[in-house]
Structure 1
Amino acid sequence: MKKSLVLAMAMALGVTASAYAANPFSDVPAGHWAYDSINKLAAAGVIEGYGDSTFGGDKLMTRYEMAQIVAKAMAKGANVDKLAAEFADELDNLGVRVANLEKKADNVKITGEVRYHYTDTNDDFNGYKTALRSRIWVNGQINEDWTYTGMLENSQDLKNNAGDETTKFQRAYVNGRVGGLAVQAGRYNKALAEGNVYDNRFDGIQASYGSDVKLTAGYGKATPSAVATTTANVRFDNFFSSNSSFTVKNDSNEVYYAELTGKVGALNLTAGYYEFKDIEADAHAEAWGFDYMGRPVHLGDKDVHFAEDATIWALGANYAFDKNFKLGALYLKGEDKLATASVDDDGYVVTASYKGAKAVEPGSWGLVAKYYDQGATTYVHHTMNGVANDIFGFKGYSVAANYAFAKNIVGQVEYYDLEEKEGNREAQTLWSQLVFTF
């Protein structure tokens, strides 16, 4: 390696040639093209030359000699990150920590998970699903106050041999502080009322204030969920129908939410307000009306499309009896998101949990049991993995167990027994997953 490679360091040091002492090297005369740079490095103590007062620019140096020069340049504050990376092993042998380089290497972190899951449902909703999902997370430090998170997801349907798969950029958001507010903005996942109102991607912004008592408020757009259908008797403004076929797409162009949480000893309390605008629904109805004497008159089939707002309130409490056992209850009250249908407008969820598997603790495990009784107006996109045709509400229970088989390998099994609140269909679902994280 020629010594001329070190001359580039001179540009990274903040002293001028006029401050230099007399020429320290006899083989670099004042008229030499590299005189200023070499003199600058010598004055800064980065290079020393040979004992005979020569620079020896035509000679090759060892990697160890070069590492010594890099170390001295770093000590003087020179920006030599690329050289520090190249000679990292030699610098380590010299006992030099490349702190700035380490900081930059830690600036972006990549993590991920691979999940296999299988779902089997019987009774009125017979069927199964099996899929492989891979997620790659990217976390970057923007500055001392702001971070960035992104997530790329690939899903492979394993039910057939067609190789059906999708790859989507599912998360892209920043977190930071503005004064006393913690801010999150972009596409992030949002679980409202512990996921019992909404649990899906959300494009928007939220701000939080406080610690022991915290207020969080947000605004944005909900992600469209899978279209759901059912059959029910429905009364419209100017006619009623028998066995109407309903289709509801649970998306909303505007969503407002606010949650207030607080803690009193082992008791955690929460209150929430959620406003979803223009949730769309379609109905194909065998319509009946009334004549002037109030007698029913068949009006034929009708196709009706409408969009309704959904307003949901939530009150919840969770009590930790000890570090392992917790019991929680959540009450929900909603205005009719399908105002033309007669459905329950409130509901509740009771949860009991014991311990919980932790990916970093092999052998750790946990149990969770829930009971649901939710009217149609109390949710938009539910967090549960159970199957029920839930346009007009559902009720039932679930039990789940999770276990860490090894470090970063966790399995989970859930069983659901759910039925419609407005109808007689029901379903039992066995849902399972095995997750590898790295």
Structure 2
Amino acid sequence: VANLEKKADNVKITGTIKASYASYDGDKVAKDGQDPAQNTNHASRLRSDLWVKGDINDDWTYSAMFRNQQFFSNDKGNAGEENVAFQRAYVNGRVGGLAVQAGRYNKTDITGGNIHDNRMDGVQVSYGKDVKLTAGYGKATGVDVIAGENKDVAYAELGAKLGAVDAFAGYYKFDNLLKAADDDAIWTVGLGFDLAKDLKLTGTYLRSDVDAVTVDRVDYKDVDKDGYVVGLAYKGAKAAKAGSWGLNASYYDQGAGTVVAHTMDGIYFDEGFKGYSVGANYALAKNIVAGVTYYDLESKEAKGTPDAQTLWSQVVFSF
């Protein structure tokens, strides 16, 4: 009986369904603020993610994620919208004192995604708990590179929990980025402070070695190499607790080289941007969380300082 119960629990299936609506305004709407199949100033989408996790043995597990997206701003039913894509597939385990992750996984940098939050094919190892060192190498699959050349990325991260203070530092090297017409090396350091119960302030500094970029066939020389992000968060909705809620706000001032694939849901400028976001989230019921975020950003380099505003809203169902 024990063996049968163990085998029955060997594979677990979970998932999320995200219904989102975004409204865009400003000077960049014609380029980025549109449904993938229709030029509009809004986008409506249903994204379904199905996770499969299985135990390989007592030390190793396998995870995979399938994704389907439907866009509601048109009724074309494009093949690309109907397909189910095999988005992630990786193993996790331990080798001695090292935690290992290998395969196609999502890499969110140690700042929370201000540098990179997208898929990569690679391997990373981690050591430690309160003071944790992580290093990885692979190919970033969600970035544009020169003429299809390699997408190699290497990174090292150090995080430490010191009472009410979180400290972190990271180094990232991306090869052959299209907008930089070369490689991009990015350094970051930051601190997070628990100002009060459920209230946290985070400050991040970023530095890139890129001093020129090309965006939409426009060359930008002597671009800002620095980046600053300040975030403030109060509480936060928890899917398992109906009625829980949270508020957050961030200020961004990021040079072109400090961003590869940002985590934000708003429109931003590849030549560098600055501005702010404010958001709120609320657990409507157990495993149903709604959220809304407003972004107001402007270019740091383009003539006339074009701006862009995004109002992003979504409801996430988890099972």
TM-score for both structures, normalised by structure 1:
0.65
The separation in 2 between residues aligned to 1:251 and 1:370, in whole angstroms, is: 35
Instruction: List structure 1 segments (4+ residues) > 4 angstroms apart after TM superposition.
Output: 248-252
1:118-168 CA distances to partner (integer Å, 9 max, x unpaired)? Answer: 111112133111111111100100000000100000001111011231321
1:330 corresponding residue in structure 2 = 204
- Contact persistence 2:231–2:251 (CA under 8 A): yes
2:97 corresponding residue in structure 1 = 180
Q: Does 1:206 align with 2:87?
A: no
The separation in 2 between residues aligned to 1:212 and 1:123, in whole angstroms, is: 44
Deviation at 1:320, TM superposition (A): 1.4
Q: Using the TM superposition, name which of 123-132 and 133-142 deviates more.
A: 123-132
The separation in 2 between residues aligned to 1:101 and 1:337, in whole angstroms, is: 61
Deviation at 1:251, TM superposition (A): 9.0
1:406-436 CA distances to partner (integer Å, 9 max, x unpaired)? Answer: 0111001000000000121101110011111
Q: Which has the larger radius of gyration?
A: 1
Q: Which of the two has greater strand per residue?
A: 2
1:348-376 CA distances to partner (integer Å, 9 max, x unpaired)? Answer: 00000000001110000001100000001
1:113 to 3, 16, 39: 16
Structure 1 unaligned runs (5+)?
A: 1-97, 228-247, 282-305
Where do 1:39-438 residues align within 5 Å? 98-126=1-29, 127-164=41-78, 165=81, 166-192=83-109, 193-225=111-143, 253-281=151-179, 307-336=181-210, 338=212, 341-388=221-268, 390-423=269-302, 424-438=305-319
Q: Give the superposed CA RMSD.
A: 1.9
Structure 2 unaligned runs (5+)?
A: 30-40, 214-219
Aligned residue pairs total 296
- Contact persistence 1:252–1:279 (CA under 8 A): no
Letter in 2 for 1:263: K
Q: Secondary structure at the match of 1:144?
A: coil
- Contact persistence 1:310–1:337 (CA under 8 A): no
The separation in 1 between residues aligned to 2:105 and 2:122, in whole angstroms, is: 8
Q: Using the TM superposition, name which of 344-353 and 248-257 deviates more.
A: 248-257
The separation in 2 between residues aligned to 1:406 and 1:417, in whole angstroms, is: 30
- Contact persistence 1:278–1:307 (CA under 8 A): yes
TM-score for both structures, normalised by structure 2:
0.89
Deviation at 1:224, TM superposition (A): 2.9
Identity %: 57
Q: Cα distance 1:251–1:111, how it changes in 2: closer, same or farther (>3 A)?
A: farther
1:75 corresponding residue in structure 2 = none
2:34 corresponding residue in structure 1 = none
- Contact persistence 2:120–2:142 (CA under 8 A): no
Deviation at 1:337, TM superposition (A): 6.4
